[in-house]
């Protein structure tokens, strides 16, 4: 039973990364950058270890990092949080998601997410005994009637579908914008639909904004900045994404104190505290000038454009991501209509690893919408130039 409900099986990312290592394939699967963080951030961690920051830090996070998180939210979004009561440091965004769900969801409570969704959401909702309900993204082929990027795919969300899905049964709405796996950002109408629905039905919003700084067009809009949202929203961030240190596992939440207290209560039983020497280094990173944040996004935009050109060149239809680490593509023009089967073969056939979008979905039999996304594949572009170039050559040779 444990194996069947997925609690004991490795994640798709772990499995596909192991396959990449085994075959020497280019790993455009798991989303982690293989570039280093800003030098000042790395040096601060080394200095902290030398200076003796090697024992348990305070459970909710060091005062220094909590203050830096509050400053960061104020500086970029004009949101003020009390670092002592409204900020919690977690062991990555993963723990922030887990502790938020375990703190707020009782058996049978309904949790709403988009679909496809980041895989840990479904696992944690199941561990909490919640009922997972999803609103599927829309998939549209851009042609002359739609305009802009002919031949590409446009992924989106229907605000009316969101409104209809939020009911008195909804305990929690787990929002993810910028979105993994697609890289879309939710438009203002969708964010408004969520906030209004949550207020009308007294639901709590948990907003996973780990890709907040990896945006290529417009600046990021935290849902907590919308009227009526702040008092019912937990916002999640990650140093892994923001500073390119996924191995450090430092994340955080900002929320009204009552919600922070509830999540802290669970966090203390999950990990107690989070990596001491990294906390000061992340504080250093969050205080870096805007140009440092922009440099990471600019670099990713260049890689995104390179991958889009490669995929279009081999005859795939692409969805142009507005943010994040990933391009979603449809290879059915090459006769590949089953993304799951293709991603199993691709490492050996092409020497490239990618992730099937249905891995972020549920089957129709389980109340999901996987078949709508059956032909879509997620390719990561957060990899160094040598990897991206070699992957492009291999995909061109394969196609």
Site of interaction with ligand GLN (CB under 6 A): 11, 13, 30-31, 180
**What, of ligand PMP, ligand GLN, none, does residue 30 touch, CB below 5 to 8 Å by kind?**
ligand GLN
Q: How many CB atoms lie within 10 A of CB 241?
A: 27
> In what side-by-side order are the strands of the sheet with 170-176?
87-90, 251-254, 233-238, 204-208, 170-176, 110-115, 131-136
**Residue with the closest Cβ to ligand GLN?**
31
Q: By C-beta, is 93 or 370 nearer to ligand PMP?
A: 93
Q: By C-beta, is 93 or 165 nearer to ligand PMP?
A: 93
Q: Is 92 in the site for ligand PMP (CB under 6 A)?
A: yes
Q: Is 246 in the site for ligand PMP (CB under 6 A)?
A: yes
Distance of closest approach, residue 1 Cβ to ligand PMP, in angstroms: 27
User: Which region, judged by CB under 6 A, interacts with ligand PMP, from 87-95, 185-193, 215-223, 363-371?
Assistant: 87-95
Element (H, E) at 283: helix 276-286
* Distance, C-alpha 31 to centroid of its chain: 9
Query: 349-373 as b/e, with b when 16 or more CB fall inside 10 Å?
Result: ebbbbbbbbbbbbbeeeeebbbebb
| DSSP, residue by residue, 25-78 | -EE-SS----SPPPHHHHHHHHHHHHTT--S---TT--HHHHHHHHHHHHHHH-
Distance of closest approach, residue 274 Cβ to ligand GLN, in angstroms: 17
Q: Is 322 helix (H, G, I), strand (E, B) or coil?
A: coil
Which residues have C-beta within 8 Å of that of residue 304, sequence separation ≥ 6?
A: 216, 321, 327, 381
**Residue with the closest Cβ to ligand PMP?**
92
**What, of ligand PMP, ligand GLN, none, does residue 93 touch, CB below 5 to 8 Å by kind?**
ligand PMP
Q: Is 86 in the site for ligand PMP (CB under 6 A)?
A: no
Distance of closest approach, residue 356 Cβ to ligand GLN, in angstroms: 12
x-or-dash pattern for ligand PMP, window 171-210, by CB under 6 A? -----x---x---------------------------x-x
Task: Count the site residues for ligand PMP by CB under 6 A.
Answer: 13
């Amino acid at each position: 039973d444990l194996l069947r409900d997925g609690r004991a099986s490795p994640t798709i990312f772990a499995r596909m990364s192991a396959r990449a290592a085994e075959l020497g394939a280019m790993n455009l699967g798991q989303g982690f950058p293989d570039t280093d963080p800003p030098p000042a951030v790395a040096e601060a961690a080394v200095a902290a270890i030398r200076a003796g920051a090697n024992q348990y830090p305070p459970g909710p996070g060091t005062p220094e990092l909590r203050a830096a998180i509050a400053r960061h939210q104020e500086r970029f979004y004009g949101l003020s949080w009390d670092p002592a009561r409204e900020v919690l440091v977690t062991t990555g965004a993963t723990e922030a998601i887990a502790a938020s769900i375990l703190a707020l969801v009782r058996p049978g409570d309904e949790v709403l997410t988009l679909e496809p969704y980041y895989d840990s959401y479904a696992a944690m909702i199941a561990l909490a005994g919640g009922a997972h309900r999803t609103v599927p993204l829309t998939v549209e082929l851009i042609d002359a009637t739609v305009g802009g990027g002919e031949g590409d795919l446009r992924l989106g969300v229907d605000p009316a579908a969101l409104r209809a899905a939020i009911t008195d049964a909804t305990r929690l709405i787990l929002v993810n914008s910028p979105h993994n796996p697609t890289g879309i950002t939710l438009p203002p109408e969708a964010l408004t639909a969520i906030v209004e629905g949550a207020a009308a039905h007294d639901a709590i919003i948990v907003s996973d904004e780990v890709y907040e700084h990896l945006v290529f067009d417009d600046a990021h809009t935290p849902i907590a900045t919308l009227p009526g949202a702040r008092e019912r929203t937990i916002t999640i961030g990650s140093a892994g994404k923001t500073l390119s240190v996924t191995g450090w596992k430092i994340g955080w939440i900002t929320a009204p104190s009552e919600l922070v207290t509830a999540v802290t209560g669970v966090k203390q039983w999950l990990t107690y505290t989070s990596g001491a020497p990294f906390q000061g280094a992340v504080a250093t990173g969050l205080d870096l000038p805007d140009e440092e944040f922009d440099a990471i996004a600019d670099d990713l935009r260049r890689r995104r454009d390179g991958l889009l050109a490669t995929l279009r060149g081999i005859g795939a239809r692409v969805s142009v991501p507005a943010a994040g680490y990933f391009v979603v593509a449809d290879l059915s023009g090459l006769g590949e209509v089953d993304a799951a089967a293709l991603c199993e073969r691709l490492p050996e056939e092409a020497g490239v690893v990618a992730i099937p979008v249905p891995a972020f979905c549920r089957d129709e039999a389980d109340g999901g919408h996987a078949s709508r996304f059956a032909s879509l594949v997620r390719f990561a572009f957060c990899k160094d130039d040598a990897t991206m170039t070699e992957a492009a050559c291999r995909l061109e040779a394969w196609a």
